[in-house]
Amino acid sequence: MTAHIFLPGIRLRTIPLVPEHEKYLREWRTAALACADDGDVCASMVLQAAFIELSTNGHLTTDWLGIFDACLTGENDWPLAYSARYGKRLYGFENQAVQSTIVAAHTRWWLEGLHDPGGVDHARYGHWLLEQKYRDGLLYDHDVSETILRHRMRTELTMSLAYALEILGAAGLLSAALKDDILASLADPRRIPPSRYMSTEYFRRRALESLGAINHFPVGELDAIEACATDLAVGFGDFAMADKRDSYMGTAKRTGRDKPIHSPLSACHVMALLAFVQDAEAKGRIETRLVDYNEHLRAHPMDIPAFQMRDVHVPFGADKTPIEVICAAHLIAGEVHP
């Protein structure tokens, strides 16, 4: 299991790295290990460090399952998103950080598959998902946040569903009735309407593939993809700024001064969605832009900008992430294909 659903089309053990990417990734892993030694760790940090070890060494060199056991395990031995120390720093108090999420469970499940492919108790994970996370015909972390379905981020919903379906499929728990129930919600435009976010639609594709219902993928992906290149000299963003709206007010006033950025991960999402672009001429334009972006990254491997909010001159989140760097390496090394 050397691929991960979050990384479109990427085989971690075979990806070549340019020196700039390898240096960044090794330094990031060293810093993550120091945090883990202090118990200041989260599931996403463990996942990205595992990505790095597979990319740089071809195999895991750290006992990340042991770190899960020590720092990221809660009641009934269930995976947590944050360690107590990480949560205390993040939230200012510890109880709010005690969250058993789909992403944390999927991370632990995936790591177990790397360690012992034949020894994973898929059913344990699958039954927990159905008992704890299944609601409204979808699988998401409704027990972690009280946010109503209509106001949840669409990428959260499709990503959580795609992750959960991968586990349920491995567990043999995707009955015809369950598939029909989930598909009825996923294909309902009132629940998860078609979006113009590359991440949302990429995970929608993966969820529909797990359900054997890819014919339900919404039309109109061409316009969304081309919009995500608006005002960018190179590459694609996850969304077009013109489409960003306040979910309550329906206006763009809160995001009017945000700036679009290109993203290697978004470019990988675009590649995964190319199959739904039927117009040959338009598809050719997108492929040409992807090739140009590959060349740009080849010349400027670390040109991976961080999102900035309005006129706040600090990055929103990490300056760069291992995921973006690994996607950049994949784009530099690979060919454009759907």
Percent of the chain scored above 90 by pLDDT? 72
Give residue 76's pLDDT band: very low, low, confident or very high (50, 70, 90): confident
pLDDT over 80 at 176, yes or no: yes
Q: What is the pLDDT of residue 306?
A: 76
Give residue 308's pLDDT band: very low, low, confident or very high (50, 70, 90): low
pLDDT-wise least confident of 26-30, 89-93, 284-288: 89-93
Average pLDDT, stretch 18-42?
96
pLDDT over 80 at 332, yes or no: yes
pLDDT over 60 at 257, yes or no: no
Percent of the chain scored above 70 by pLDDT? 88
- Range ranked top by mean pLDDT from 191-195, 310-314, 315-319: 191-195
Give the SS3 label for residue 176: helix
d(CA 310, CA 308): 6
Give residue 220's pLDDT band: very low, low, confident or very high (50, 70, 90): confident
Q: DSSP E strands: which ranges in 106-250?
A: 134-135, 138-139
Give residue 14's pLDDT band: very low, low, confident or very high (50, 70, 90): confident
pTM of the model: 0.91
Q: What is the pLDDT of residue 315?
A: 44
Average pLDDT, stretch 207-234?
93
pLDDT over 50 at 88, yes or no: yes
Closest to 191 in 3D by CA, of 177, 206, 181? 181
- Range ranked top by mean pLDDT from 95-109, 121-135, 258-272: 121-135
Closest to 46 in 3D by CA, of 129, 127, 108, 113? 108
Q: Work out the mean pLDDT of the chain and round it to a whole number.
A: 89
pLDDT over 70 at 34, yes or no: yes
pLDDT over 60 at 159, yes or no: yes
d(CA 191, CA 183): 11
In this structure, what token pair is assigned to residue 105?
């469970």
Q: Give the burial string for 221-233 (b: 16+ CB within 10 Å, else e).
A: bbebbbbbbeebe
Average pLDDT, stretch 192-218?
95
pLDDT over 80 at 172, yes or no: yes
Q: What is the pLDDT of residue 245?
A: 54
